[in-house]
Amino acid sequence: MTNIAVIYKKEDQLIAGTAQQVIKELKKMGYTINQARAKFAIVLGGDGTILRAARLLAKSRVPILGIHLGGLGFSSEIELHDLVETLEKIKRGKYTIDERTMIEAHVGGKTLVALNDIVISNSGIARVIKLEIKGLAEYVSDGLIFSTATGSTAYNLSAGGPILTPDSDSMVISAICPHSITVRPIVLKRPITAVLTKGKQAILTADGQQMVNLHERQKIRIQRSKLKTRFIRLSGYDFFLRVKEAFGFGPSI
């Protein structure tokens, strides 16, 4: 029998009910639900659930099969009705592993890891913060987004940042509403050290799900993580086709 994990948003009654039905069917098919020994994980929900699963599974290197049940579902691989056929393909080895770079922030003795992005912003009334990136620039803005290639199609894209292909191990720094028309996103690979020079209610978030309060003059080190998120991909995966379908990228004239 094959051990697998099933991860879903338990707070959502509809998704939780669907997940329980899926688990019953999987057991009938001979699968054992055991996250500790799982060969792969089925993740039911939207991109937020996949981001949570990515952090849970990164150290164990368990690959993720995303089933779209939530909102946009950009990172999901299949729809629910494709599950049985997909499991047969996995049994026959008809899939590839798509490894994605993760990012981590070291601050106040803590390490936060993210698949999409690390964001430093103000938690209170809309006021600017000032951040100095050592050896690079000083930003006056509503915040900064430090994005991976995977996260480049998320908050970074909304802030006017560039799209990176999934195989890139670079990081994008994009300012949120900068107070200068000359500020542009920067793509780099090296670790950076940021200093919060102004921002009494500033916070740092990882994938919008983990949070650390910051204080003025605090240093934050942000770098590429050694951990990877691994996705199960079926034949025919086309990144730019997905971007076009999700965001209308490159419409025909």
| Residue numbers annotated as active site | 47
First-residue to last-residue Cα distance in the chain: 52
Q: Specify whether the CB–CB gap between 196 and 220 falls below 8 A.
A: yes
Q: How many CA atoms does the CB half-sphere of 15 hold within 13 Å?
A: 17
Paired tokens of 62: 């368990």
Bridge partners of 121? Answer: 143, 203
129-133 and 171-176 strand pairing: unpaired
Are residues 102 and 113 in contact, defined by beta-carbon separation less than 8 angstroms? yes
Phi/psi-derived region of residue 34, left when phi > 0, alpha when psi is between -120 and 50, beta in every other case: beta
